[in-house]
Chain A
Amino acid sequence: GIQVEQSPPDLILQEGANSTLRCNFSDSVNNLQWFHQNPWGQLINLFYIPSGTKQNGRLSATTVATERYSLLYISSSQTTDSGVYFCAVALTNFGNEKLTFGTGTRLTIIP
Chain B
Amino acid sequence: NAGVTQTPKFQVLKTGQSMTLQCAQDMNHNSMYWYRQDPGMGLRLIYYSASEGTTDKGEVPNGYNVSRLNKREFSLRLESAAPSQTSVYFCASRTGGVGTQYFGPGTRLLVL
Which residues of A pack against B, CB within 8 Å?
A: 1, 4, 30-31, 33, 35, 41-43, 45, 48, 50, 86, 88, 92, 94-104
Contact = CB atoms under 8 A, between A and B. Distances in A.
A2 B88 CA distance: 23
B82 interface: no
Contacts of A104: 41-42
B45 A99 contact: yes
**Which 7 pairs across A and B sit closest by C-beta, in order of nearness?**
A101-B42, A43-B103, A48-B100, A95-B50, A101-B43, A92-B98, A96-B50
A102 B42 CA distance: 6
Interface of B: 30-31, 33, 35, 40-45, 48, 50-51, 56, 58-59, 88, 90, 94, 96-103, 105-106, 108
A41 B30 CA distance: 25
